[in-house]
Amino acid sequence: MIWKKFNGESVTLPIIEEVEQAIIRESEKGHKLKVCIGTDSQVKGHTLNLATVIVLIREHHGGFMYILQEKSTKKMSIKERMLLEVQRSIETAYSICDLLDLYDVDLEVHADINTNPIFKSNQALNDAMGYILSMGFIFKAKPEAFASSACADRMVH
């Protein structure tokens, strides 16, 4: 699993070390950080493309992100796909949450799931919300889930 920066450059360190260095660097510049993690997916033909992002938001100073892209050929329902996205986000959040606690950085997990019942993704909303909240993470769904619905969405191909 190779994480990348937005410019396409591969991250050579384990992601937890990369994020720690970013927190230290940004803190030294006086920036207060928040981390938002989200995953989005798209089906193209028989291939499921997934992108998970770790977005570091600098309060009043923009942000930057790390991206992990994956491919799968497993066929799944929309609900399974939404829950796979949530699972990827939770795995990522869980891998860095102790680090974020250490540096007192807030964390949100964003799900690319619509709160409006007319959308197909809504059928996974309660399960996704329960899964994320039961892991102790702050949950955001559309339209507040920009990490998944905007950032990860642009990285899926």
Q: What is the pLDDT of residue 115?
A: 85
Q: What is the pLDDT of residue 97?
A: 96
E-strand spans in the chain?
3-5, 33-44, 47-58, 63-72, 106-114, 138-142
Q: What is the pLDDT of residue 123?
A: 85
78, pLDDT greater than 80: yes
- Average pLDDT (68-80) is 92
Two structure tokens written together for 150: 């905007």
Cα 57 from chain centroid (whole Å): 13
**Could you give the domains of the chain?**
3-155 (3.30.420)
Q: What is the pLDDT of residue 35?
A: 98
- Average pLDDT (35-49) is 94
Q: Tell me: the pLDDT tens digits for 90-100? A: 999 999 999 99
**Exposure of 157 by Cβ count < 10 A (0-12 exposed, 13-18 middle, 19+ buried)?**
exposed
149/136 Cα distance (integer angstroms): 22
Q: Tell me: the pLDDT tens digits for 93-135? A: 999 999 999 999 999 999 988 888 888 888 888 899 898 999 9
104 Cβ partners below 8 Å, 6+ apart? none
The answer to pTM > 0.85 is yes
Instruction: Read off the pLDDT band of 14 (50, 70, 90).
Output: very high
Contact between residue 128 and residue 113 where contact means Cβ atoms under 8 Å apart: yes
Q: What is the pLDDT of residue 124?
A: 86
Sheet holding 33-44, edge to edge: 3-5, 63-72, 47-58, 33-44, 106-114, 138-142
Q: What is the pLDDT of residue 1?
A: 78
